[in-house]
Amino acid sequence: MIFFLWIGLFVLGIYLLVSICTTWLQPYFIFRPEQLKEGYVFDFQKKLEEVWLDSPKGGKIHALWRKVPESKGVVLYFHGNAGSLKRWGHLYFFFERHQHDLFIIDYRGYGKSGGKRTMNLMYQDAERAYQFVSEHYAAEQIILHGRSLGSAFALHVAAREKVQALVLETPFSSMEDLFYAYFPFLPRVFPFSYRFQNRQNLKKTQCPVYLFHGTDDWVVPYRVAYKLIPYLKDSDRFFTITGGGHNDLLYFDQYQEEMAWILKKGDS
């Protein structure tokens, strides 16, 4: 009897230890920011306007805004979990080629942005970014683009606001699915402080949704994104990029052709 009691206590201890580690390590697993001084000067070939957005709980959100002549609309872009606008701001060249403006934010603790970081506060920051963009563009001119981690924020906005379309690039179905894709040997009993509601938000979207994922993505495995398919509408599209990884879809002809079609679709 005592033997089984000790076994039970041992198992409980292991569970508590892993639970604490899982909770404590989550922010390090999810967020890999690059911080920039407020006076940092971006070195882009073309001028991008710097925008500051106030957000709840002392949030100060920094954004870049690239406006092109005779713009056909704007892409509100939520980037991946690593780096800052120093890295992601260069995407303006792709959307500029298709006559679209780009508005892209840095999350709290990324780049020049500041404020305490929680899931709900980051959701509110995404809403604040949409609010700003909607003051300058009609809803039918706004395309949301969520890249990896950014898919959570793009989905949150798309589930609540009117937009032309939603693009999800290398998204994940849930943080739990992603975590257990890395650690399949662990039981699914551990708590998560960042429970991004990607499935639920995808079910609520009214706009067209276009999802891109590479078969060779080892950061967000293809099977994790594939779990979103049951929540897509009949008119939505899931584009499989054969051989595509996590950071190189932009260089595939299929991606460029489909994105050109999506960006042009709003003109008709």
Q: Which residues have CB under 8 Å from 13's CB, separation 6+? A: none
Token pair, residue 209, equals: 């949704």
User: What per-residue confidence (pLDDT) applies to 19?
Assistant: 52
Instruction: List the one residue out of 251, 253, 155 whose CA is nearest residue 200.
Output: 155
Quick one: what percent of the chain has pLDDT higher than 70? 87
List, in order of start, the domains of the chain with CATH numbers.
Answer: 31-265 (3.40.50.1820)
User: What per-residue confidence (pLDDT) applies to 135?
Assistant: 98
Q: Which residues have CB under 8 Å from 242's CB, separation 6+? A: 214, 215
Dump pLDDT digits (tens) for 141-190.
999 999 999 999 999 999 999 999 999 999 999 988 888 888 777 766 66
Residue range 193-214: mean pLDDT, rounded: 95
User: What per-residue confidence (pLDDT) applies to 12?
Assistant: 46
CA distances in angstroms from 2 to 13, 58, 212, listed in the order given: 16, 54, 55
Helix (H, G, I), strand (E, B) or coil at 202: helix
Residue range 19-47: mean pLDDT, rounded: 81
∠ CA 72-153-212, nearest 5°, is 65
